[in-house]
Amino acid sequence: MFFKSLADPTRLSILYLIATHPDGRVSSNALAQALGISAPTVTHHMKKLISAHLVTREQVGKWAYHSLHPANADTVAKIFAAVTAA
């Protein structure tokens, strides 16, 4: 499930935005705006990333914030470091 989740370009973009955000977390709304996709599309992709333990979700009032899952944060960082170094 881990690598299958990474096979989609939109999910990779979501992971990259979360991994590189200064706060370490990004709202669903901010992801939708940054990627030019709808909120339901973000939700669809987030469900897959959460199932793969790549991201976590935190509800703060009416806003949902996503951050890298602590168990896989280092792995995600290494993947992006390898890709950007190439």
Q: Which residue segments constitute the domains of the chain, with CATH numbers given?
A: 2-85 (1.10.10.10)
Query: How many Å apart are CA 71 and CA 68, to the nearest integer?
Result: 8
Buried b (16+ CB within 10 A) or exposed e, 28-37: bebbbeeeeb
Residues 7-56: pLDDT tens digits?
Answer: 899 999 999 999 999 999 999 999 999 999 999 999 999 999 999 999 99
Q: What is the structure's pLDDT at 44?
A: 96
pTM here? 0.89
Is the CB of residue 10 less than 8 Å from the CB of residue 46? no
Whole-angstrom CA distances from 37 to 33, 75, 78 are 7, 26, 27
